[in-house]
Structure 1
């Protein structure tokens, strides 16, 4: 028995006329009659009664029609699902992330995705949490890795890790200060920071930490990426309060990091988020890869 036997029988059962059924199937009537006869012989049942005036289904034929419809619908559904999966796996997946996340882990994520879905193109977008959320709403991103909190109800979010803050200064300045925060006059130091509109959560934590240390920061330079901040710090343009995870950055070798003991409880959550109704077939699989890698 082949799928064509099921299709031919279903069309004939709907038309109850060999000529009309053959026309729908784009074949002549004799091959259709032969296929139905082969089907009945294989099943060892009479599916149809036919005479010169009419074709009718037997009780066995009525039951077999229901089963054929179920099987053919299932095959069509499976075909559509396979096509959707293929299109997803050979399409484009847009991933956003904040600049402070580990590039080593990001690189490992890309390798894992490539191994699992070699036809998928992953486009990366390094930008602020707020811009990622807007892009997610507009369908321009599939997943964003952002700094919490997220207050928009249409998003699903999963916590990846908790990030604290450290003071970053050039290695040369760190040696002069002997690696001791108490030897540094923070109130007179020039700070490098994110732009407050670009990264409001980070800016809020930055001001909170300075307040804990009883000084108002003198912000001389504002940047939009953690790499720019670290490069300026490394060249001793100023100092910065940065997420603790940036110590893993390659440029961090030229920078001295000091723990801020009085503010060790000030942290932020790094979360993965996406629109709850995002139809991308690979969304769940890739979100699991991200969760496993960053946890």
Structure 2
């Protein structure tokens, strides 16, 4: 079995059409069919059901497709790591983070790593938790900063800190004196994270409001915490944000009331690949853990 057999198989599995797969691979159809038959003979398993109307994967074929995709992802990670070793730990180190993490910590991390690895090109990406997990599984990032939970056998997750919640409002439009005023907000306009972008976080916000006895009137949504805070500053509503944001915001127009009565937190976690034991990754994680 050669790599070309696996590449040909994946092309057919994706297109479910031998003619289209052959065009995609820039070969003619007869050699492609012959290669697939050779692969099936070697495996002693039928991978496709073929007739005049359609091509389908067998159950064995579906299993083989999943495993081959995982194999190619693993080979890509091996290639990337080999290249880094050959370049004496130069190349790229890619860090993803959610928008609600205070950016100065990320800047400090880059500065610290740059001192240790001056030839590394650091890249930063602001990405949602769900997309970070997917990117890390595919080897597209090296370190992620997310809001838990994480459900992936390929990822190592370490708790960075537990974050509480605070109501944020513009003091020029509304006065929220203390936590006891929170139940009176049922008629106010709220700005929330988009539920499709951050479903778990969205559910937590609804739970918080339910604890205080009301369902929020969500009128505006955004996929970025800084945009949410800006909408609040512009008087378009109030919101509930991680207390981490409140602690690091110096805008005099904004007021924050921490929600202390409800015992509800989100875990901010650092995620890395279980296969990544590189010095730079370990150093990055250690630096952030010391910043808790």
Instruction: Determine if the TM-score, normalized by the shorter chain, exceeds 0.5.
Output: yes
- Secondary structure at the residue paired with 2:96? strand
Confirm whether residue 268 of structure 1 aligns to residue 240 of structure 2. no
Partner of 1:41: none
Moved runs in structure 1, 4+ residues, more than 6 A?
A: none
Q: Give the conservation status (yes or no) of the 8 Å contact 2:84–2:90.
A: no
Distance in 1 of aligned mates of 2:247 and 2:259: 18
In proportion to residue count, which structure has more helix?
Answer: 1
Partner of 2:285: 287
Q: Which runs of 5+ in 1 are unaligned?
A: 1-80
Q: Which runs of 5+ in 2 are unaligned?
A: 1-80
Number of residue pairs the alignment of both structures matches = 212
Q: Give the conservation status (yes or no) of the 8 Å contact 1:181–1:258.
A: no
Could you tell me the TM-score, scaled by structure 1's length? 0.66
Partner of 1:125: 125
Distance in 2 of aligned mates of 1:100 and 1:108: 16
Partner of 2:94: 94
C-alpha distance 191-183 of structure 1, shift in aligned 2 (>3 A): closer
C-alpha distance 111-215 of structure 1, shift in aligned 2 (>3 A): same
- Secondary structure at the residue paired with 2:123? strand
**Distance apart, 1:254 and its partner CA:** 2.9
Distance in 2 of aligned mates of 1:267 and 1:252: 24
* Superposed CA RMSD: 2.3
Distance in 2 of aligned mates of 1:248 and 1:88: 40
Partner of 1:112: 112
Q: Give the conservation status (yes or no) of the 8 Å contact 1:168–1:257.
A: yes
Q: Give the conservation status (yes or no) of the 8 Å contact 2:166–2:246.
A: no
Distance in 2 of aligned mates of 1:161 and 1:291: 9
Task: Work out which of the two has the higher radius of gyration on C-alpha atoms and give 1 or 2.
Answer: 1
Distance in 1 of aligned mates of 2:84 and 2:139: 18
Could you tell me the TM-score, scaled by structure 2's length? 0.67
Distance in 2 of aligned mates of 1:102 and 1:178: 26
Q: Give the conservation status (yes or no) of the 8 Å contact 2:193–2:224.
A: yes
Q: Give the conservation status (yes or no) of the 8 Å contact 1:179–1:258.
A: yes
